[in-house]
Chains A and B, each alone.
Chain A
Amino acid sequence: MDPLIKSAKEGDHLAFAMLFKENYPFLVKYLMKITMNPDIAEELAQETMAKCIQKMHLYNGQSKFSTWLISIATNAYIDQCRKQKRENKWKGQEEVYRKLKWQFESRNEEWNDALEALGKLPVDVRVPIVLKHYYGYSYDEIGTWMKISSGTVKSRVHNGILAVRRELKLGEETEGRHTRKRKTK
């Protein structure tokens, strides 16, 4: 185990601070991808670090520290979404990516339509897509973090990619041809 992690587990404040400083940009960028909102990402990063301090004794060092942070952050975001849904504070899906789009524009960066399509997906589909196809985690790992079976993760990712394809109008020609064929039968 990394000596820094070992010291943090023993209660060393400085070791904790160094670990967090090292992983902070990675954590915020991950949260920006799943929340599509830089402000919420920073807020959740702090919540994740707070949970990490409370749960440090549970970290066994089998996975990377950054992976462990991602699993805690994922749960924190899903919990926040459930809470908002329960309190009827849920804003429309369309509003989700607006802040990220604004940040792209302010940096004179071209907005990516795939990100817009991703933002229109529900949270429980968006999160596994990012984890699987950007970070390369396995269906089993994602399933464990989200407390669902790996089969459910697989079908959510598959359906999500289909939705993104539809939004990007990829493969509409072939789909159209298939339906035309079916009509003649």
Chain B
Amino acid sequence: MVKKQKVVILGNEKQNKHDLDAIHKLQEGLGKVDQFPVYTPDLEWFEKMVLTEKQNSRKKFVKELSLFLMIALFILSGIIVSFYQMPVVFILIQLITPIFIGYYTLTRFNKKVKINE
């Protein structure tokens, strides 16, 4: 029993040594990549990039917000009209919406789990 354990430990030590050798070789190679010169643009370029990016994200925000408000207004007016003019449609919408949301969330969740697997 003791002898068997020794064999296992020695085997593990050897495996670990080979692992360390592989890691060392990887570190050596990656270290060489670190020595490559990288062209860094000047400060002005970075400042311009920051300004452009901020402008772009502001534009995107305004665009998304207005789209959201338009859709919300459209849905809300549809619901109000159906509530006063066609109550049956209103009840149907109230029933279908939670079912659709539940189904959509479940399928999205399953898809995410599959991707992570």
Contacts and interface: CB of A to CB of B under 8 A. Distances in A.
Range of interface residues on chain A?
35 or more
Interface string A22-34: 0011001100110
B98 interface: no
Nearest to B10: A174
Interface of B is mostly: helix
Contacts of B47: 13-14, 16-17
Interface stretch (A69-77, A87-95, A127-135, A137-145): A127-135
Interface stretch (B38-46, B70-78, B101-109): B38-46
Interface in A120-160: 129-130, 133-134, 147-148
B28 A165 contact: no
Contacts, number: 107
A33 B54 contact: no
Interface of B: 11, 14-15, 18-19, 21-23, 25-30, 32-34, 36, 38, 40-43, 46-47, 49-51, 53-54, 57, 115-116
Given A25-B38, A53-B54, A115-B29, 7 more contacts: A29-B33, A113-B25, A115-B33, A162-B19, A165-B21, A168-B22, A170-B18
